[in-house]
């Protein structure tokens, strides 16, 4: 498979396209490696993972540059992504010895619980944040005693392949962590269907997530789904409107809007609507678009020509827009920052566009804001801008989404839980429960009777 730089359309690398036979061989190798890995003393497993984290840390810049070339991410963002993968490995290493069971009082004996590893885990990753999302599954799954087969997205396998090399250099057993670049319907599907795979961790579109969940049902295979979003950014009249407007562009333009948590529906209380739009215009048009290798760049290209066509199918560059930024001409899959004014029921206001496009919608009062916020099938994240702490709590509780932020757009910290309500997903990743999600709880009763 040819890997294309989305900023220049140049060939970056060519990688193997894994077959069903490759997947089968990888599962068998992984199963062998997992047995000895799970038998290691917890401290030894943790030490291996710390060495892996150190190897990632030593190669942080190289990994970031790979991400710039294969995904078109601005280099500052790519450095954060590589750092996130390292942090996840360190965090998971710290959790190995804390993955403890419980002792539950019973009559006539002792009752204890154990966290047993699942076996071989498949991590199927998307192209929008290739390194962090790979690490979100990889690190806790390994820490809990599993083997991991990672299928990166077709367009972005290079950082995943490099991570697997670094794992070997750091001394992780052969076969324990393998990368299978390849097509979703072939390598991805083979992992989902394989009887030797105990759990599938899928991050990607809701449509593919539904297919995977249906296939997993056949053998009651464990599944975690991190799917799409259409998150609201709710600005009340009592907010610091200047701050809210200054922060809004980052919340839907970062990663060129290819962010499952993008706040692509901006709901603004009518009394401050005009003021907010006045402030938003310069904030959007000054967002720095261009060469991802330039540290000053804030927004790069879209991932591919096909994805740009999808974004255009919602909003052609020639369609009327309230605000439109600039985009480079010529080679590369560029698309300008675009803000539309719309209604809650518009297709652009309910479907995930996954590009640098936001829809601004006015509302009258708190009840209407919550009603509009909840009027999609998704429920991944959202922001609430207000100076009233009671309102902040009320609205955060009323919005049906997994990750809310108040006076902020920050959604992801590796030590706090992350996941979606509704059709945004199933299960949680990250946070204190991350390792336990890769185990089965076993209950053992030991009779003390003679």
- Closest approach of Cβ 209 to ligand NAD, in Å? 7
* Choice between 81 and 291, CB closer to ligand NAD: 81
Residue positions annotated with a catalytic role: 226
- Closest approach of Cβ 191 to ligand NAD, in Å? 7
- Closest approach of Cβ 122 to ligand NAD, in Å? 9
* Choice between 163 and 280, CB closer to ligand NAD: 163
Phi-psi category of residue 236: left, alpha or beta, with phi > 0 → left and psi -120 to 50 → alpha: beta
The span from the CA of 198 to the CA of 222, in Å, is 6
* Choice between 124 and 279, CB closer to ligand NAD: 124
- Closest approach of Cβ 381 to ligand NAD, in Å? 9
Beta bridge partners of 447: 109
The span from the CA of 78 to the CA of 130, in Å, is 10
Find the helix packing angle between 42-58 and 158-169, rounded to 10°: 130
Report strand pairing: 403-406 vs 381-385. parallel
Angle at 139 between CA 86 and CA 141, to 5 degrees: 180
The span from the CA of 354 to the CA of 259, in Å, is 7
- Closest approach of Cβ 71 to ligand NAD, in Å? 11
Q: What share of the chain is helix, strand, coil (3-state, %, to 5)?
A: 45, 20, 40
The span from the CA of 317 to the CA of 254, in Å, is 19
Nearest to 341 by CA among 315, 365, 302: 315
* Choice between 117 and 188, CB closer to ligand NAD: 188
The span from the CA of 141 to the CA of 436, in Å, is 9
Q: What are phi and psi of 412, to 5 degrees?
A: -120, 120
- Closest approach of Cβ 189 to ligand NAD, in Å? 4
Nearest to 152 by CA among 140, 139, 138, 141: 138
Question: Which residues are within 8 A (CB) of 44 and not within 5 positions of it... i.e. 6 or more apart?
Answer: none
Nearest to 306 by CA among 78, 64, 127: 127
* Interface contacts to ligand NAD, rule CB under 6 A: 124-129, 133, 151, 153-154, 184-185, 188-189, 192, 203-205, 208, 211-212, 226-229, 260, 352, 354, 380, 420, 424-425
H or E stretch covering 122: strand 120-124
* Choice between 189 and 291, CB closer to ligand NAD: 189
* Choice between 127 and 252, CB closer to ligand NAD: 127
* Choice between 112 and 183, CB closer to ligand NAD: 183
- Closest approach of Cβ 30 to ligand NAD, in Å? 17
* Choice between 293 and 350, CB closer to ligand NAD: 350
- 95-119: b (≥16 Cβ within 10 Å) or e: bbeebeeeeeeeeeeeeeeebebbb
Question: C-alpha dihedral over 398, 399, 400, 402, to 10 degrees?
Answer: -110
- Closest approach of Cβ 285 to ligand NAD, in Å? 26
């Amino acid at each position: 498979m040819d890997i294309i730089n989305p900023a220049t359309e140049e060939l970056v690398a060519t990688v193997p396209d894994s077959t069903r036979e490759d997947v089968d061989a990888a599962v068998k190798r992984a199963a062998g490696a997992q047995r000895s890995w799970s038998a290691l003393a917890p401290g030894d497993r943790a030490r291996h993972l710390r060495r892996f984290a150190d190897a990632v840390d030593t190669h942080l810049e190289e990994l970031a540059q790979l991400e710039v070339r294969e995904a078109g991410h601005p280099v500052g963002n790519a450095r954060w992504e590589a750092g996130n993968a390292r942090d996840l490995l360190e965090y998971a290493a710290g959790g190995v010895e804390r993955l403890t069971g419980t002792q539950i009082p019973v009559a006539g004996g002792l009752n204890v619980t154990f966290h047993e590893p699942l076996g071989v885990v498949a991590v199927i990753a998307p192209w929008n944040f290739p390194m962090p999302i790979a690490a979100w599954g990889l690190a806790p799954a390994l820490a809990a005693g599993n083997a991991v087969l990672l299928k990166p997205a077709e367009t972005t396998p290079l950082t995943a392949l490099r991570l697997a090399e670094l794992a070997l250099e750091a001394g992780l057993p052969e076969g324990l962590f393998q990368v299978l670049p390849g097509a979703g319907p072939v390598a991805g599907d083979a992992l989902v269907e394989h009887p030797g795979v105990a759990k599938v961790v899928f991050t990607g579109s809701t449509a593919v997530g539904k297919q995977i969940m249906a296939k997993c049902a056949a053998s009651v295979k464990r599944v975690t789904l991190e799917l799409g979003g259409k998150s609201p950014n709710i600005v009340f009249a009592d907010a610091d409107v200047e701050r809210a407007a200054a922060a809004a562009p980052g919340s839907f333009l970062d990663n060129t809007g290819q962010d499952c948590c993008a706040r692509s529906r901006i709901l603004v209380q009518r009394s401050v609507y005009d003021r907010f739009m006045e402030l938003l215009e310069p904030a959007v048009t000054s967002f720095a678009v261009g060469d991802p290798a330039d540290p000053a760049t804030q927004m790069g290209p879209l991932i591919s020509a096909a994805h740009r066509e999808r974004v255009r199918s919602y909003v052609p560059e020639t369609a009327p827009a309230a605000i439109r930024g600039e985009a480079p001409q010529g080679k590369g899959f560029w698309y300008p920052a675009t803000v539309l004014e719309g209604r809650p029921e518009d297709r652009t206001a309910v479907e995930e566009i996954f590009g640098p496009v936001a829809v601004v919608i006015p509302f009258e009062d708190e009840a209407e804001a919550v009603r509009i916020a909840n009027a999609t099938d998704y429920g991944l994240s959202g922001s609430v801008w207000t100076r009233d702490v009671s309102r902040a709590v009320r609205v955060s509780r009323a919005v049906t989404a997994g990750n809310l932020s108040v006076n902020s757009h920050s959604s992801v910290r590796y030590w706090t839980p992350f996941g979606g309500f509704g059709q945004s997903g199933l299960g949680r990743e990250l946070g204190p429960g991350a390792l336990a999600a890769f185990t089965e709880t076993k209950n053992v009763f030991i009779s003390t009777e003679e």
